Amino acid sequence: MNSTDFILAASESANPLLPNPWEILVTGVGFAVLLFIVIKVIAPKFEQSYEDRVTAIEGGLEKAEAAQKEAEETLAQYKAQLLEARTEANRIREEARSEGAQILEDLKTKATDEATRISEQAQRQIQAERTAALSSLRTDVGTLATELASKIVDEALKDDARAQRVVDQFLNDLEAQQNAGASN
Amino acid sequence: MAEYGTGFGKQMLMIVLSIVLITWFFTAAIKNPKLVPGKMQYLAESGYAFVRNGIGRDIIGEKNFRPWIPLLFATFFFVLLNNLFGAIPFLQLPSFSHAGSAYAMAIIIYGTWIAVGLKNHGIRYFKLAVVPSGVPGWIMPLMIPLEIISNFIVRPLTHSLRLMATMLAGHMIVMLAAAGARHLIVVQDSLAMNGLGVLVIAGSVAMYFLELLIMVLQAFVFALLTAIYVQGAIEADAH
């Protein structure tokens, strides 16, 4: 019997709407068994797995959120510290600058004072030397005048012309002496 | 092999085989559940989630769907696998092309949703199920018989026959195409007829894939209708 004949025979011999009682029994009992297994074993396991995953994911998310929060806090802390350090550095720099300016000012004042002091000392020395020179000159002039006077008196007795020469001589000497003193 | 329509035969062995396969696959896949699922666990969980969320939660609703997950899950995969048997070489027989299996499933679902209606609403359920609200009184004599016929007689018949007929028709088309092609190639002598037989084989391959689609679709429709019937019984007073 080839397959074509088989199909024809099958379609003629049976009404597909009429059930085989065996099929109803086997399908009904089989489905009941399957349903029992699904209720007792399969569905609870899948639900459990689903729950576990939800819990794990939610836990993970919470953990991640906490870590994120902590990181943000640390960052803020670091930023604050950095800002503080910068302010501190600025303050120190500012202090150093003003301190430097102060030191410079002090040094300048000191130098000026020193210069003033040195120049005053020099003035005083010059004054003292001058006074000494004047007094010595006065002594010399006195001596010379006395000498001159004695000479004049001495010569006057002899010759007017001669006296005149002596006076000239004296004055020349004096001049020469003065020049030599000035050049010294 | 028993004659068509009588005795214990191949179709019933396939029913048993489907139960063994479904049980084996889903218990093996979820035996050591991992947080990050492997291929098998992922496949099984996707299937479970499809029925749980796509059929159960969407149709029955967030509040009541949880107790119905096992029934919908078992219904969907039982029908799906038995349909797909029709596409597997050597098995080559969709179990539900035999009316008895389709009737059995429809009877189980029918009994279930009526029981659910009675449990939720008592005997008043039959009134809720057949007397539509918001309809003028004079039309009731027409509406009530129609509702009785539609809900309690036609519904289980269409539920089972839709599945049985699509499976039987698909099975017959593939068989017919195969037998026709064999006849054209082997029995006929003309070269043109032989060529036509090759074309029929090509066509039957296309039919095979269409059948595959229908097998999955009908399993989905069967489980979806189950959910709709249960939902209607739970919330019979809402419409």
Q: What share of chain B is helix, strand, coil (3-state, %, to 5)?
A: 80, 0, 20
ipTM score of complex: 0.86
Burial of B161 (0-12, 13-18, 19+ CB in 10 A): middle
CA distance B168 to B159: 15
CA distance B59 to B231: 7
Residues in chain A closer than 8 A to B30 (CB atoms): 42, 45-46, 49
Q: In chain A, whose CA is at the least distance from the CA of B72?
A: A35
Asked if the Cβ–Cβ distance from A43 to B70 is below 8 Å, we say: yes
Question: CA-to-CA distance for A128 and A117, rounded, in angstroms?
Answer: 16
User: Within an 8 Å CB–CB cutoff, is residue B5 touching chain A?
Assistant: yes
For A123, the 3-state DSSP assignment is helix
Contact B15, A27 (CB under 8 A): yes
Region B14-33: mean pLDDT is: 90
Percent of chain B with pLDDT over 70: 97
Q: Note if the pTM is more than 0.80.
A: no
Q: What distance in Å separates the CA atoms of residue B173 and residue B188, rounded to the nearest whole number?
A: 21
A27–B26 CB contact, under 8 Å:
no
Give the model's pLDDT for residue A183: 63
φ, ψ of residue B94 in degrees (nearest 5) = -70, 120
Provide mean pLDDT across the span B112-128: 91
What rounded mean pLDDT belongs to chain B? 88
The predicted structure's pLDDT at residue A155: 65
Residues of B in contact with A22 (CB under 8 A): 6-9, 12, 100
Looking at the complex, does the CB of residue B149 fall below 8 Å from at least one CB of chain A?
no
**Quick check: B70 and A45 in contact, CB under 8 A?**
no
pLDDT given at position A8: 60
pLDDT at position A1 over 70: no
Are A49 and B45 inside 8 Å of each other by CB?
yes
